[in-house]
């Protein structure tokens, strides 16, 4: 245990959010927890000032690291208080309108969903590699594994620790520069999730709202396959910037991918594009190429729907092996051909997110 007084003393040298008052006196310290010499500190700031206060966060982290007994320190900025909603004078009956965005994701610039109509097309592997690729391109990235029945993020990212809870917010684990949270981190690997709809919905809402995501450029949501409760809950409880559909080139998978596109259309979430996974197979022995699921199907489908085609990723042992080993191929072989295709896809997604501003949400005024 590091002495709390020593920690506060270290932080006394760091000016708080107003630039003058020292952090311990500023009232901005939201939570302080520690485990085995690792110190986690959260500072509550207004979401709008988070970028500006990044130097403060760094200074606090440095001060903590320099404290004797501290092995490592992690400081996060959290948006504890959303800016007050404008109150109309003379409002009597009205309750304040609920914020459109849950506070926990208030610092997240873009939330995107990786979806597929059908299971087994490599959606989670794609989501994991895309997230790592975006992080490599310099974005601050989070990954929310929303596949409550078959969570795969813990395995894909090689995560075994249980996340800690700090001030009733779950602190996501970090791997390869990506903040990861998954229902699989909260329950045992072999434990089945046997839930009815309402349970699933509340679990998803919790993963979204009760996790300290902090400041992110993109939160990648790995959706379960299909068009069910989880997809609808996600679409309703968070302002999604867009969705990416993963499909194999096979007709059967494409039919379901079409359903996915149609669903996102219904809830006004733009489809950023389609990725063709298991696009082709290069034989490791003879080097011959086999189009196992037929090739190019997803590209045609995308053209037919008027949806961008984002790229193709081959069926390859290396991708499968690195995934099972908990080191996504973009992290394991960042300069390999496969990593390059993921990174090209990531860049195109990032450009799309930056280039097409979300249609602004309507202002809801109660007065």
Count interface residues toward another protein (CB under 8 A).
33
Are residues 238 and 105 in contact, defined by beta-carbon separation less than 8 angstroms? Answer: yes
Are residues 218 and 109 in contact, defined by beta-carbon separation less than 8 angstroms? Answer: yes
Span of 116-124, 151-159, 171-179, 303-311 interacting with another protein by CB under 8 A: 303-311
Query: How far, rounded to the nearest angstrom, does the alpha carbon of residue 244 sit from its chain's CA centroid?
Result: 14
Q: Look-up: residue for tokens 């299971």?
A: 119
Nearest residue to 277 via CA among 83, 65, 128, 112: 128
Cβ proximity to another protein, 53 vs 207, nearer residue: 207
Write each residue from 228 to 267 as x if it is in contact with another protein (CB under 8 A), else as -, in one continuous string. -------xxxxxx------------------------xxx
Q: Look-up: residue for tokens 């010499």?
A: 37
CB burial of residue 96 (10 Å; 0-12, 13-18, 19+):
exposed
When binding is defined by CB under 8 A, the residue of 38, 209, 299, 305 that contacts another protein is 305
Spatial distance between the Cα atoms of 247 and 123, rounded to a whole number of angstroms: 8
When binding is defined by CB under 8 A, the residue of 22, 58, 87, 94 that contacts another protein is 94
Span of 22-30, 89-97, 123-131, 286-294 interacting with another protein by CB under 8 A: 89-97
Residue 197 within binding range of another protein, rule CB under 8 A: no
CB of 231 to another protein, least distance (A): 11
Residue 296 within binding range of another protein, rule CB under 8 A: no
Residue 210 burial (CB count, 10 A): 15
Residue 92 within binding range of another protein, rule CB under 8 A: yes
Spatial distance between the Cα atoms of 110 and 137, rounded to a whole number of angstroms: 15
Residue 77 within binding range of another protein, rule CB under 8 A: no
CB of 5 to another protein, least distance (A): 44
Cβ proximity to another protein, 235 vs 350, nearer residue: 235
Residues 329-358 that bind another protein (CB under 8 A): 358
Are residues 32 and 64 in contact, defined by beta-carbon separation less than 8 angstroms? Answer: no
3-state secondary structure of 136: helix
Taken in order 167, 172, 173, 179, is the CA torsion positive or negative?
A: negative
Residue 304 within binding range of another protein, rule CB under 8 A: no
Write phi, then psi, for 232 (nearest 5 degrees): -70, -40
CB of 26 to another protein, least distance (A): 32
Cβ proximity to another protein, 50 vs 240, nearer residue: 240
Residue 196 within binding range of another protein, rule CB under 8 A: no
Residues interacting with another protein, by CB under 8 A? 92-95, 97-98, 100, 235-240, 265-271, 305-307, 358-367
């Amino acid at each position: 245990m590091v002495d709390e007084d020593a920690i506060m003393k270290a932080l006394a040298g760091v000016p708080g959010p107003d630039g003058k008052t020292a952090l311990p006196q500023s009232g901005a310290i939201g939570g302080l927890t520690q485990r085995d010499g690792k110190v986690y500190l959260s500072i509550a700031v207004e979401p709008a000032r988070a970028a500006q206060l990044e130097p403060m966060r760094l200074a606090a982290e440095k001060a903590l690291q320099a404290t004797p007994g501290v092995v490592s320190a992690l400081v996060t900025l959290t948006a504890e208080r959303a800016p007050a909603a404008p109150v109309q004078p003379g409002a009597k009956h009205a309750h304040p309108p609920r914020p459109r965005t849950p506070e926990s994701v208030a610092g997240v610039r873009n939330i995107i969903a990786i979806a597929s109509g059908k299971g087994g097309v490599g959606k989670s592997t794609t989501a994991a590699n895309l997230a790592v690729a975006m992080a490599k391109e310099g974005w601050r990235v989070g990954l929310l594994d929303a596949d409550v029945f078959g969570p795969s993020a813990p395995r894909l990212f090689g995560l075994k620790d249980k996340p800690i809870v700090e001030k009733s917010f779950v602190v996501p684990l970090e791997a390869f520069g990506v903040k990861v949270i998954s229902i699989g981190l909260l329950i045992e690997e072999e434990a089945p999730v046997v839930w009815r709809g309402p349970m699933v919905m509340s679990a998803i809402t919790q993963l979204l709202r009760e996790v300290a995501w902090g400041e992110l450029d993109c939160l990648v949501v790995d959706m379960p396959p299909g068009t069910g409760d989880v997809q609808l809950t996600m679409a309703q409880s968070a302002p999604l910037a867009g969705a990416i559909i993963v499909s194999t080139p096979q007709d059967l998978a494409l039919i379901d991918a079409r359903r996915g596109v149609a669903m996102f259309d219904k809830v006004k979430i733009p489809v950023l594009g389609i990725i063709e996974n298991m696009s082709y197979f290069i034989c490791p022995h003879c080097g011959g190429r086999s189009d196992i699921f037929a090739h190019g199907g997803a590209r045609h489908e995308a053209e037919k729907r008027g949806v961008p085609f984002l790229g193709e990723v081959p069926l390859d042992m290396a991708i499968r092996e690195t995934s099972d080993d908990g080191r996504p191929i973009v992290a394991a072989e960042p300069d390999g051909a496969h990593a390059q295709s993921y990174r090209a896809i990531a860049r195109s997604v990032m450009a799309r997110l930056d280039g097409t501003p979300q249609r602004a949400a309507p202002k809801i005024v109660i007065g």
